Chain A
Amino acid sequence: MQPTIASYFQKS
Chain B
Amino acid sequence: MFEARLISATILKKILDAIKDLLNEGTFDCSDSGIQLQAMDNSHVSLVSLTLRSDGFDKFRCDRNISMGMNLGSMAKILKCANNDDTVTIKAQDNADTVTFMFESPNHEKVSDYEMKLMNLDQEHLGIPETDYSCVVRMPSMEFARICRDLAQFSESMLICCTKEGVKFSASGDVGSANVKLAQTSSVDKEEEAVSIEMQEPVTLTFACRYLNAFTKASPLSGQVQLSMSADVPLVVEYRIQDLGHIRYYLAPKIED
A: residues with CB less than 8 A from B are 1-12
B: residues with CB less than 8 A from A are 40, 43-47, 124-129, 208, 233-234, 250-257
User: Which residue on chain B has the smallest CB distance to residue A3?
Assistant: B252
Q: Are A1 and B127 in contact (CB under 8 A)?
A: no
Give the complex CA separation of A6 and B127 in angstroms.
10
Number of A-B pairs, beta carbon distance below 8 Å: 54
CB distance from A4 to the nearest CB of B (A): 4
Q: Are A10 and B126 in contact (CB under 8 A)?
A: yes
Which of B44, B129, B208, B257 is A6 in contact with, Cβ under 8 Å?
Answer: B44
Q: Are B252 and A1 in contact (CB under 8 A)?
A: no
Interface of chain A, helix or strand or loop or mixed? loop
User: Which residue on chain B has the smallest CB distance to residue A8?
Assistant: B234
Residues of A close to B43: CB separation below 8 A: 4
Residues of B close to A2: CB separation below 8 A: 45, 208, 252, 254-255
Q: Are A9 and B44 in contact (CB under 8 A)?
A: no
Which of A1, A3, A11 is B126 in contact with, Cβ under 8 Å?
Answer: A11
Q: Are B254 and A12 in contact (CB under 8 A)?
A: no
Which of B128, B253, B254 is A9 in contact with, Cβ under 8 Å?
Answer: B128
Give the complex CA separation of A10 and B40 in angstroms.
13
Q: Are B44 and A12 in contact (CB under 8 A)?
A: no
Residues of A close to B127: CB separation below 8 A: 9-12
Q: A10-B126, A12-B125, A12-B127 are in contact. Are A5 and B255 (CB under 8 A)?
A: no
Give the complex CA separation of A2 and B235 in angstroms.
13
User: Which residue on chain A has the smallest CB distance to residue B249?
Assistant: A5
Q: Are A8 and B125 in contact (CB under 8 A)?
A: no
Residues of B close to A12: CB separation below 8 A: 125-127
What 3 A-B pairs are tightest by C-beta distance, nearest first? A12-B127, A9-B126, A4-B44
Give the complex CA separation of A4 and B255 in angstroms.
11
Give the complex CA separation of A9 and B255 in angstroms.
17
Q: Are A3 and B47 in contact (CB under 8 A)?
A: no
Residues of B close to A1: CB separation below 8 A: 254-257
| Interface-centre pick from A3, A8, A11 (highest chain B CB count, 10 A) | A8
